[in-house]
């Protein structure tokens, strides 16, 4: 199941990178898809895909006492690991490589899902752990939505192409006239 989840989350995340453009800049779609090239928007598309996959894995593992702990930790790993790997390699190479950025996205998805399935397999946590994990998962989701609508003014949220934030950071490329 872990391989299937990695494949489906990767496909959904890849689609989420382009869905705002495909939707002709629909703001509702932009809540879930990348609206610019900031680090946050790449974190967001991994979160979107993982949260959507929750509709499937919730049916399969939702009764597992560790489900929300596993989900919370997998989401937090995405939030932590993506910028760590991205800025880490840039510190070393002093350059940005598109292929490495793409690989980082998939590495983060793989690590997130491996962590999820690891925690699903552990001994059940107690009621307080379940409650706090569930609460934490919903807090992460709430922050995800809030930060999409009201991005912080820091490097994680700044589009490197436009130097803007959130929807304002979207790079509108005029379509060349048809001949």
- Provide the 10 A C-beta neighbour count for residue 24: 7
Cα–Cα distance between 142 and 134 in angstroms, integer? Answer: 12
**Total number of domains in the chain:** 1
Residue 133 resides in a domain: yes
Short-list 83, 67, 46, CA closest to 116: 67
Report pLDDT for 174.
43
- Contacts of 154 by beta carbon, 8 Å cutoff, 6+ apart: none
Both tokens of 113, joined, read 């899902």
176 falls within a domain: no
Establish if 48 belongs to a structural domain: yes
Number of H helices, E strands in the chain: 6, 0
Whether residue 45 contacts residue 102, with contact meaning beta carbons closer than 8 Å, is answered with no
pLDDT (0 to 100) of residue 178: 52
**Per-residue pLDDT at 167:** 87
Give a yes or no: residue 175 inside a domain: no
Whether 77 is in a domain gets the answer yes
| 163 in a structural domain | yes
Domain enclosing residue 14, as ranges: 2-169
Q: Given this model, what pLDDT does residue 143 score?
A: 93
Q: What integer pLDDT is reported at residue 173 of this predicted model?
A: 53
Residue 174 covered by a domain: no
The series of mean pLDDT values per 10 residues for the chain, 179 residues long, is 96 96 93 94 96 96 96 98 96 93 97 98 96 96 90 94 87 52
Residue in 153, 53, 157, 169 with CA at minimum distance from that of residue 113: 53
Supply the pLDDT for residue 148. 85
Can you tell me whether residue 158 is helix, strand or coil? Answer: strand
Q: Rounded to an integer, what is the distance from CA 12 to the centroid of its chain?
A: 10
Q: Which residues contact 159 (CB under 8 A, 6 or more apart)?
A: 36, 37, 38, 41, 165, 169, 170, 171
CB 52 within 8 A of CB 12: yes
- Cα 28–29–32 angle (5° rounding)? 105
CA distances from 38 to 103, 134, 169 (A): 16, 28, 8
Count of residues making up the chain: 179
Whether 177 is covered by a domain: the verdict is no
């Amino acid at each position: 199941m872990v391989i299937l989840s990695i494949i489906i989350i990767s496909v959904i995340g890849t689609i989420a990178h382009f869905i705002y453009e495909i939707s002709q800049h629909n703001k509702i779609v932009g809540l879930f898809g990348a609206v610019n090239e900031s680090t946050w928007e790449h974190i967001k598309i991994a979160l979107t895909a993982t949260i959507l996959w929750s509709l499937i894995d919730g049916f399969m593992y939702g009764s597992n006492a560790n489900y929300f702990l596993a989900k919370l930790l997998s989401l937090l790993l995405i939030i932590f690991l993506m910028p760590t790997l991205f800025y880490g390699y840039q510190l070393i190479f002093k350059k940005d490589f598109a292929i490495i950025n793409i690989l980082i996205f998939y590495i983060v998805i793989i690590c997130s899902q491996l962590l999820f399935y690891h925690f699903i397999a552990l001994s059940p946590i107690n009621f307080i752990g379940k409650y706090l994990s569930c609460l934490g998962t919903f807090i992460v989701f709430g922050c995800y939505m809030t930060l999409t609508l009201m991005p912080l003014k820091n490097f994680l949220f700044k589009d490197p192409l436009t130097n803007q934030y959130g929807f304002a950071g979207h790079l509108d490329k005029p379509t060349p006239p048809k001949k």
